[in-house]
Structure 1
């Protein structure tokens, strides 16, 4: 992946500004109150507040990049500004997601993904990882299994392809499944554990798929 000095500079600047802003807000809100109330544990409380604010501000920065149209779906050469902004988004997202890990219980994972721009339905179970949340949509009551990976980008032959991934309502993505860019999983479809779904694959509603690469096993409403 092509990386230039400007990419390092932008990433360092973004991380530094987010950290400084988070530190300032933490200091302003705590004002020694945490030390007064918690004694020696006040430092720990301040550290947690800093991580929380850093994660929240990172999410706002990521959503701002998308809202301004700096990152959008399509195929772009590595010289295109979209590629640079995508790299910056990814750095901010990874650091921000990491900062929120102390607060990210299994129940909070969908909320964190939504904060960073993912389309999240109601009552979903999210055990896996979203690499490009801004291009991922997960429907109501869907299940994304533990250690699965959903990525909406592909880098090949000097180009980056950003193609949204859609997981339909009540679909089930098994543990350790890999879903690549441009994949559509229909409502009620099931992917077995360890399946790898290549880019642009369309899985119809109500079908069972599995394997590497993933292929149809049968229709779930019949013995076919």
Structure 2
């Protein structure tokens, strides 16, 4: 049985233990589901502004705090993932500086003392798969590409990179600080769609044994 891939990506205010998650996005078969927290600031018509820029169907919800965002994400995972044949995938989710998306979420969920949502959800990181099973070196460049945008542009059609309003991921922090929530969400949508494309590419050309699938179920719950 082939698991249905669900790509996800997060945005944060930085890389420190006290930084917060601003956005969590999931690419599901019918479109993209994005959760964004505004730190209590007004964010009218974010979904409409995003839909004006994105061809893919996108559903966006805004939340007043990181805690509220996590509670909404947990509810989505509970409803959407449980009892489904889903494989959660991320790009560089557990490798950069010891990991990013998954370890960052663990730290922030623990900070709020909220139960880990990804119980009984299998997970695979797309980065080590595509960077070792595909040639990602661009002619004229000395080193193979390893970043999400670079690998996607090397192996796929590039249309989701054209969607991204930012050149550097650090611009997502500035957008959040300046209340440019629609741009932040569009960037997140571009990232989850790029991740999904790479996951599907690997699924098409790599063996099941190449996917290093692991369980995200914690040893104890509650």
TM-score category (smaller protein): under 0.3
Larger RCO: 1 or 2 (CA < 8 Å, sep 6+):
2
Rg comparison, structure with higher value: 1
TM-score, normalised relative to structure 1: 0.25
TM-score, normalised relative to structure 2: 0.25
